[in-house]
Homo-oligomer: A and B are copies of this chain.
Amino acid sequence: MSLAGLFDVDSAVTGQQVRAEPIQRRSAERLSALLDAAAEAVDAVGFDRITTAMIAERAGASIGTVYRYYPDRVAVLQALHERTVQRFRERVVEEFESSPPTTWWDVVDCAVSAFVGLYRSEPGFRIMQFADREGATLGEGTPSDDVARETGFFATRLAMVLAARFGLPDEPELIFRVEIAVEMADSLLCRAFLHDPLGDERFIAECRRVVHDYLATFYGPVVAFPGVDVSVAV
């Protein structure tokens, strides 16, 4: 099983948020144009301030067109979220290919780099944080419970890679620990970009260190880990 395969598109969780599959090619372009518009709007005004009219206008479409493809407002945001998660996975794979990982740490490093890179370049990337938490707040009758567990899903995939390719023990604990690591990294990276659009380097660096140290507690330190002193200081 290849790295790319593990993270690939087909294995993604697909919520049925699209109302009508695009028949003509023109439609597919409209669809992505709508998501692009939503992504811009996310950066411009934030999640909640987004109006359907705003999305339609930025996409050069009309209100009706939005509702042709999505059942409601939040479905658009969910679709954007899924596309963003997908692009994140693709970006991780790209990082793998440009600098093939040789240790489990390299895998984590690639994931962090991918996250940071996309946060800087991809409009509306902050939507990553959003839906994960939001799915929980919807609480009771949410149909797509899968979406709420995106982070857990990604962690599971990542754990599989680490087990299959780098000999980490394939136990249930592995998934749990990777999820812990993902959760920590996510929060620290989001914090890094909270006020700084380029991302506060101190938080990014500390994120790498924290994740490394945490996993190294169980799976041994990586030799020649750059810039981190694992020993106890002061």
Contact = CB atoms under 8 A, between A and B. Distances in A.
Interface of A: 45-49, 74, 126, 129-130, 133-134, 136-139, 148, 169, 176, 180, 183-184, 186-188, 190-191, 194-195, 202-203, 206, 210, 213-214, 216-221, 232-234
Contacts of A48: 48, 74, 134, 137
A137 B194 CA distance: 9
| 8 A-B pairs closest in CB distance | A187-B187, A46-B137, A136-B194, A184-B184, A46-B139, A183-B191, A183-B187, A47-B137
Counting every copy of the chain, the complex holds: 2
Given A46-B138, A210-B210, A213-B217, 16 more contacts: A45-B139, A48-B48, A48-B134, A49-B138, A126-B137, A133-B133, A136-B195, A148-B195, A169-B234, A184-B188, A184-B210, A186-B187, A210-B214, A213-B214, A217-B233, A218-B234
A180 B206 contact: yes
Contacts of A129: 133
B190 A180 contact: no
A180 B206 CA distance: 8
Given A47-B137, A137-B126, A138-B46, A188 B194 contact: no
